[in-house]
Structure 1
Amino acid sequence: MSTPKKSYLNVHLAVFLFGLTGLFAKLVNLNPFVIVFGRVFVAAVFILIWLVISKESLKLHHKKDYQKMVLMGILLAVHWTTFFAAIQLSNVAIGLLTFSTFPVFVSLFRPLINREALSKKEVFFGFITILGILFIVPLKDVFSDTMAGSMIGVFSGLVYAIFTILNEKLVKHYNGKVIAFYEQAVATVVLLPSVFIIKPSVTSYDLFMLLLLGTVFTGIAHTLFINGLKHVSAYMASIITMLEPLYAIILAYFVLGEALTVNTAIGGTIILSTVIFISMDHQKSQRKIPL
């Protein structure tokens, strides 16, 4: 398999695993801060062991890169905490679909960060995605937990957009596992105080679920996603990631019994159609580039 195809496969597999993580917000009866702390702590240990076994160095090339890793870890902690909070306040479908607004933020922020021309086509498709989400968000009940979850989900998407753009820069210079380790480790330190403040009561079931979440659905998935960014742009990765809520909605229906409403089906269809069209358009433009 060619390297670009492998990168796309890595991103798609990571997105599928990410789609399953939304269910943990409902399956684990813990505060979002505690869930995310358990997730990043287990992931950091898992990736560290992986790096030691593969004899890969953790040393970074420049001192400023350590500062960048700290920033990335903080962004990751904020994104995942708000992500789980959004789902717990609403449901898996709304939490994931409001979070999937982040391609709009990628379209708007990436040119500013990378000093590139803003593509009207990317912005247009981003707003088509917003249209799909408007079918799902309950706008008539402004002060409900569901609306609060929706707004937090959008904020989580904003943070994740910045996180994705900056990761695209780092992955050009470092192995995905190294980046993932630093991000998870920093997020662990950032979230550690919340554990002492909340003082959660954790069962053996919770520990097992957090172990599963931190290894398969974080350590492995996060590394696959970051490695995929070597040959997949931040915007294209964000479009592929829009499949995440669709995976989650289907699984939430079968595992949690969450009803799939007509509005959710319409919004999901709009999002999926946008993903397919953008993917085809991107592949077409890539083929036009001379080798």
Structure 2
Amino acid sequence: MKKLSAYLHIGLASILWGSNGVIVNLVELHPTTIAFFRVLIGGLTLIIVSVLVKGLETLKVNGFFKRLVVLGALLAAGWYFLFQAMKLIPIGAAVLINYLAPVFVAVLAPSVLHERLEKKIAIAIVLSILGVFLISYQGLGSGGLNILGIIFGLLAAISYGGFVIYSKQTLAMLSYYTVAIYSYLVSALILSPSLLLIKSPLSPNSLILLFLMGVLNTGVAVTLYLKGLRSLKAQEAATITYLEPLSAIIFGYFMLGQEISIGIILGGALILTSQYLVVR
């Protein structure tokens, strides 16, 4: 039952993250600046909630501050590299490369976390990659391949994979509230120069969307993810996050009127099949 709850936590977090693309399209800011507000609002929200629920204990780092700085840096790097990749290569290609992260986790977890790579996880990762490829296929064909863009995409995937593995290690030492709060605040500090990109005052709608993104998509979602990660293998958690690109398609269809192709339907079916393999 505890494991099922962990699957649900990570699945719900991934679905919430799927709405990020919609918000980025609706807010009149550079994506890196959006990422800054996202982690800042998320971090401040969690400070309030955690102090009310757990007390000031959640703010104590117990000598592990350097670990939290590394996690914040990985978080900031992941978003920065992904957004840079999306500028240089088709978005579909950037998404596909970024979702190589679970492969890196699966490769590194046996040696770093001493997790055995199960056959069902390996199959699920292959199915998920094929699914994301089918979903991204149209985007892949819409522009040329820029070498620097590909490198940025790979760096984003490596950053995300590193965040998953390092988070798994750190959660054995600190609460998920503590890990999330300091990861966000360090990430916000690193991304703060993006404030210089703001050229005009934000509209009320943009402010509301940024607030929701910070509270729900960051404060709530990443906490759910870290809570679930405590009870699962890093490989399992990383594979379940393939629900994010699938939910992004659904949000895009209902909120932005984006089309759903046969490739998207087939890709979604493969991703859902991979999720079944992981949780069964």
TM-score normalised per structure 1? 0.82
Q: Tell me, yes or no, if the aligned pair for 2:102 and 2:161 is still in contact at 8 Å.
A: yes
Q: Distance in 1 between matches of 2:265 and 2:80?
A: 27
Question: In structure 2, do the counterparts of structure 1 residues 86 and 254 end up closer, same or farther at CA, with 3 Å as the change threshold?
Answer: farther
Does 46-55 or 251-260 show the bigger shift?
Answer: 46-55
Q: Distance in 1 between matches of 2:166 and 2:210?
A: 27
Aligned to 2:61: 60
Identity of aligned residues (%): 30
1:143 aligns with 2:141: no
Helix, strand or coil: the match of 2:56?
coil
Question: In structure 2, do the counterparts of structure 1 residues 118 and 160 end up closer, same or farther at CA, with 3 Å as the change threshold?
Answer: same
* Alpha-carbon shift at residue 29 of structure 1 (Å): 2.4
Aligned to 1:270: 270
CA RMSD of aligned residues (A): 2.7
Helix, strand or coil: the match of 1:22?
helix
Helix, strand or coil: the match of 2:18?
helix
Return the structure number with greater relative CO, CA threshold 8 A, min gap 6.
2
List gaps (5 residues or longer) in structure 2.
none
Q: Deviations over 1:201-256 (max 9, x none)?
A: 24132222111110111101111111111211111111111111111101101111
* Alpha-carbon shift at residue 278 of structure 1 (Å): 3.0
TM-score normalised per structure 2? 0.85
Does 232-241 or 256-265 show the bigger shift?
Answer: 256-265
Q: Distance in 1 between matches of 2:173 and 2:90?
A: 39
Question: In structure 2, do the counterparts of structure 1 residues 277 and 120 end up closer, same or farther at CA, with 3 Å as the change threshold?
Answer: closer
Matches within 5 A, 1:198-209: 198-203=197-202, 204-209=204-209
Aligned to 2:31: 32
Amino acid in structure 1 at the alignment position of 2:200: S
* Alpha-carbon shift at residue 98 of structure 1 (Å): 4.4
Matches within 5 A, 1:239-258: 239-258=239-258
Does 16-25 or 72-81 show the bigger shift?
Answer: 16-25
Q: Distance in 2 between matches of 1:6 and 1:67?
A: 30
Q: Distance in 2 between matches of 1:205 and 1:274?
A: 37
Question: In structure 2, do the counterparts of structure 1 residues 122 and 13 end up closer, same or farther at CA, with 3 Å as the change threshold?
Answer: closer
Question: In structure 2, do the counterparts of structure 1 residues 229 and 9 end up closer, same or farther at CA, with 3 Å as the change threshold?
Answer: same
* Alpha-carbon shift at residue 4 of structure 1 (Å): 3.1
Q: Deviations over 1:182-202 (max 9, x none)?
A: 000000110112213x24424
1:20 aligns with 2:37: no
1:71 aligns with 2:50: no
Helix, strand or coil: the match of 2:128?
helix
